[in-house]
């Protein structure tokens, strides 16, 4: 201070040297070397050499050994090379979750390209936009590519006659390995690019922390468009373990537990929102505890009450990890071994300490380390993504020089999350510094939803918030100015054309104007809570399909009764429950209902009509003509 008596007192570092050394150095000694020159697929190939006949991938009845998986990936990699794939080339992969998906992932890496997942569950317009933004010139898929895709389409079947031996390419470790898109605050998704060296370093770190060995069987749970799916495939394969894919629909907790038991799974990694449902199902936990040794939950804040329930329930002996990590920090960057007992007054479950090769800093507004217990911004150093694809300014703003690292050129990522160090050396997550939210494990920038709403012809202004009007249930609410000619269902359908289901708000509030503070800024605190659904006279479901659908809704949503005019989302439904509802409909009615149909027709009677149409489509035209009127008559017994 004496050297510069004009500086503000609040800019002075607060930590004594001993405490600074503790939070900057001691708690960041993870005993891991910096990323070297390894490539992800090279770690897998080393396991092929060690145990070629070990089981590598299981999906339903499909089973591939390490040798078979390697040969299939080599064949497809040669086909991709013939299509022009080389270092830095982005290759879109649009396949359902299957053993073939794992083959395609490895094939892209072996060919030297960068894997770009294009989830088949996304709206077609969004898939096309992601492929265009990434500059993907090659697409691996079984069907046609996204509308407007002008590149080369490669079907996995085209590789059948290729050589199955390793290609032996010298793929640079600094080359791009994969691109994962996250929601963007400006209305455009951002592609996060991760190089081979960092991806390989994370696979090693995750395998070490999770204790993965060739004896493990790991469930692949996450949707293919999220980076956790890569950890769930590549980390086990780099450690000689077996990857068991869960199927294309989200299972109920009981279904997941039964699959885990049937397949002998030892590691399960669901999003936190799903884990909360799992904890609430003692029957599922009893089954799960018979085979599973480790459960990793991550994606959003873990409930302390649920953590205590886990520790005292049927799964008490199963190791539980609470993971944390933005996509930019290469999947999971910190983890916390949840102990058998949490302090009764705990408001948060910590997110733990950095994984090997990572460093974690809590800093104040002047990038000084914050004292113990004092909130600040969480920054992550060490193993990081390269940056945002084609967005140098955004990369420079988020990936900044690491002032605490002795390594030349070291960077750290500003997460935008608030955190603090606890006395035991664990990080406690305290929420966001900005408007970004996580709902049911999905990272969402409300600005992207607002931009899509503003594209509707009748909407003049739009704001989207995450609200917790019901304790424990966070949901997206859209506030629109204008929109007189478009109701909630029309706006929901409009958003469903370009956004994934989890980004479509559950409630819509029309305002004459947005509330402003005295200085003219948006007053978010003055935005009203959505009105409760207007009380309406109960209209009983009509016909067997409506009745069956109402029973499914009542069970999933925890309501006593459902009428034919009730709206799934107004009753508390959301995208995760919609997926489970679709699974129940398939089992009960033998109908493949698309997720988009739920957003287009959220009213029970309308959705039942859609189900009827799908069921009737199985009949020939003559039979259909005879049945069409009958099945729609009130009280009809034929469906």
CA-wise closest residue to 84 among 12, 28, 135: 135
Angstrom distances, CA of residue 443 to CA of 99, 241, 434: 27, 29, 13
Q: CB burial class (10 A; 0-12, 13-18, 19+) of residue 127? A: buried
Q: Is the confidence at residue 634, as pLDDT, over 60?
A: no
Of 119-133, 301-315, 472-486, the poorest mean pLDDT is in 472-486
Threshold 0.85, pTM exceeds: no
pLDDT band of residue 392 (cuts 50, 70, 90) is very high
* Between 355 and 629, the higher pLDDT residue: 355
Structure tokens at 288: 């799960």
- CA–CA separation, 422 and 373 (whole Å): 6
Which tens digits make up the pLDDT trace of 98-126?
A: 999 999 999 999 999 999 999 988 888 88
Of 88-92, 374-378, 597-601, the poorest mean pLDDT is in 597-601
Which tens digits make up the pLDDT trace of 560-588?
A: 889 888 888 778 787 778 878 887 888 88
- Quote the pLDDT of residue 618: 66
Strands 442-444 and 473-482: unpaired
Q: Is there a contact between 419 and 376 (Cβ–Cβ < 8 Å)?
A: yes
For the chain, what percent of residues have pLDDT higher than 90? 50
Which residue has tokens 């450690």? 239
- Coil, helix or strand at residue 256: helix
Mean pLDDT of the chain: 87
Of 127-136, 226-235, 321-330, 626-635, the poorest mean pLDDT is in 626-635
Of 182-196, 306-320, 462-476, the poorest mean pLDDT is in 462-476
Which tens digits make up the pLDDT trace of 455-472?
A: 888 887 788 888 876 666
Q: Is there a contact between 152 and 139 (Cβ–Cβ < 8 Å)?
A: yes
CA-wise closest residue to 68 among 164, 212, 148: 164
Rounded to an integer, the average pLDDT of 244-271 is 91
Rounded to an integer, the average pLDDT of 51-78 is 97
Of all helices (H) and strands (E), which one includes residue 411? strand 411-421
Of 112-116, 262-266, 339-343, the poorest mean pLDDT is in 339-343
Which tens digits make up the pLDDT trace of 24-56?
A: 889 988 765 545 678 999 999 999 999 999 999
- Quote the pLDDT of residue 592: 81
Task: List, in order, residues 6 or more apart from 420 with CB less than 8 Å away.
Answer: 362, 370, 372, 373, 374, 375, 376, 427, 428, 430
Which residue has tokens 């085209």? 158
- Quote the pLDDT of residue 499: 86
For residues 400-426, one letter each, b for 16 or more C-beta atoms within 10 angstroms of the residue's C-beta and e for the rest, the string is: eebebbeeeebbbbbbbbbbbbeeeeb
Which tens digits make up the pLDDT trace of 517-531?
A: 665 557 778 888 887
Q: Is the confidence at residue 447, as pLDDT, over 90?
A: no
- Quote the pLDDT of residue 297: 95
Strands 437-439 and 442-444: antiparallel
């Amino acid at each position: 201070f004496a050297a510069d008596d004009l500086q503000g007192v609040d800019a002075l570092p607060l930590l004594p040297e001993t405490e600074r050394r503790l939070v900057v150095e001691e708690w960041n000694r993870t005993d891991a070397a910096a990323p070297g020159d390894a490539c992800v697929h090279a770690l897998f190939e080393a396991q092929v050499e060690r145990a070629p006949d070990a089981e590598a991938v299981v999906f339903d009845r499909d089973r591939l050994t390490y040798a078979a998986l390697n040969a299939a990936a080599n064949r497809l990699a040669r086909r991709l090379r013939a299509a022009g794939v080389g270092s830095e080339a982005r290759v879109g992969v649009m396949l359902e979750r299957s053993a073939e998906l794992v083959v395609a992932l490895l094939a892209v890496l072996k060919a030297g390209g960068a894997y770009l997942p294009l989830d088949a569950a996304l709206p077609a317009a969004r898939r096309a936009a992601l492929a265009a933004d990434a500059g993907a010139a090659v697409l691996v898929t079984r069907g046609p590519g996204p509308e407007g895709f002008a590149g080369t389409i490669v079907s996995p079947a085209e590789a059948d006659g290729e050589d199955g031996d390793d290609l032996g390419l010298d793929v640079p470790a600094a080359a791009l390995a994969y691109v994962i898109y996250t929601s963007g605050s400006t209305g455009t998704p951002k592609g996060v690019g991760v190089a081979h060296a960092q991806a390989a370093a994370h696979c090693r770190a995750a395998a070490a922390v999770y204790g993965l060995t060739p004896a493990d069987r790991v469930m692949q749970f996450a949707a293919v468009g999220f980076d956790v799916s890569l950890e769930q495939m590549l980390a086990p394969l780099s450690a000689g373990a077996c990857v068991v894919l869960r199927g294309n629909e989200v299972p109920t907790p009981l279904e997941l537990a039964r699959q885990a038991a049937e397949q002998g799974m030892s590691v399960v990694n669901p999003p936190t929102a799903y884990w909360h449902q799992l904890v609430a199902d003692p029957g599922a936990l009893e089954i799960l505890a018979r085979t599973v040794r480790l459960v990793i939950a991550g994606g959003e804040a873990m409930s302390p009450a649920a953590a205590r329930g886990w520790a005292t329930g049927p799964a008490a002996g199963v190791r539980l990890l609470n993971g944390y990590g933005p996509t930019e920090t290469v999947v999971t960057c910190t983890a916390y071994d949840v102990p058998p007992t949490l302090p009764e007054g705990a408001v948060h479950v910590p997110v733990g300490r950095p994984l090997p090769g990572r460093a974690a800093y809590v800093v104040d507004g002047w990038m000084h380390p914050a004292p113990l217990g004092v909130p600040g911004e969480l920054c992550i150093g060490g193993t990081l993504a390269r940056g945002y694809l084609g967005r140098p300014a955004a990369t420079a703003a988020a990936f900044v020089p690491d002032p605490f690292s002795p390594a030349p050129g070291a960077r750290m990522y500003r997460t935008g999350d608030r955190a603090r160090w606890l006395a035991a050396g664990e990080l406690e997550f305290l929420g966001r510094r900005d408007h970004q939210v996580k709902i049911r494990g999905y990272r969402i920038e409300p600005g992207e939803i607002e931009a899509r709403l503003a594209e509707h012809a009748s909407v003049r202004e739009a704001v989207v918030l995450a609200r917790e009007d019901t304790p424990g249930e966070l949901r997206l609410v859209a506030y629109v100015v204008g929109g007189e000619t478009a109701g909630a269902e029309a706006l929901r359908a409009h958003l469903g054309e370009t956004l994934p289901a989890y980004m479509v708000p559950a409630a819509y509030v029309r305002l004459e104007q947005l509330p402003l503070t005295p200085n003219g800024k948006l007053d978010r605190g003055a935005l009203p809570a959505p009105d409760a659904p207007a009380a309406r006279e109960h209209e009983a479901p009509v016909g067997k399909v409506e009745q069956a659908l109402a029973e499914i809704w009542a069970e999933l949503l925890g309501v006593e009764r459902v009428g034919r005019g009730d709206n799934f989302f107004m009753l508390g439904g959301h995208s995760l429950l919609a997926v489970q509802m679709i699974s129940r409909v398939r089992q009960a009615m033998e109908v493949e209902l698309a997720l988009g149909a739920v957003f287009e027709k959220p009213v029970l009677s309308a959705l039942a009509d859609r189900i009827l149409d799908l069921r009737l489509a199985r009949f020939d035209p003559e039979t259909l003509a005879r049945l069409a009127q009958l099945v729609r008559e009130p009280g009809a017994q034929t469906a």
